Amino acid sequence: MRKEDKEVIINSIVDQLNACPNFYLTDIEALNAEKTSQLRRQCFNSQVKLVVVKNALLKKAMQRVGKDYGDLYDVCKGTTAMMLSENGNAPAKLIKKFRKTSDKPILKGAYIEECTYIGDNMIDTLCSIKSKNELIADVIALLQSPAKNVISALQSGGNKLSGIVKTLSERPE
């Protein structure tokens, strides 16, 4: 491969890494054509982009991005496929679901919201990670709960208060 072609590929990977805050490095070696097609279809349906990359080019692209990818450089061995997603846990859920019918893909590592996860044993942890939007929704729900309680108490108290005033006004002196 010519140096110019490598530069184009590296720049493409850099653009993808900058565009998606979350990516997974997986091993999909030994998947036959049918299983690979099924995996790609499921990725498409889950809004996960699947890209097979050369390890040397991926390492160079990761260095150019300038983020701290920690031990992810060490897992770039063998066949590597990147799964890119806006949602941090979507690829993990997809991998877990796909493994019900196959033993691949194997998780090498992941970079989620500036944290690195290494090893296939992290798949359950990654499935349980909430996305940024889910966390914001949880915080809003927690903040709204006390306000709702106060409003409902005031509304029910208002009815009681008006009833007491009415009873007292109708009472003979």
pLDDT for the residue 154: 61
DSSP string over 20-57: -SEEEEEE-TT--HHHHHHHHHHHHHTT-EEEEE-HHH
CATH says 3-129 is which class? alpha beta
- Where are the domains positioned within the chain? 3-129, 130-173
pLDDT for the residue 82: 92
pLDDT for the residue 150: 65
DSSP-assigned letter for residue 76: -
Report residues of the chain scoring pLDDT below 70: 147, 149-165, 168, 171, 173
The single-letter code of the amino acid at 78 is G
Reported as a single tens digit per residue, the pLDDT across 31-60 is: 888 888 888 998 898 888 988 889 889 888
The single-letter code of the amino acid at 157 is G
Instruction: State how far the Cα of 15 lies from the Cα of 110, in Å rounded to an integer.
Output: 18
pLDDT for the residue 155: 66
Sign (positive or negative) of CA dihedral 88, 76, 61, 81: negative
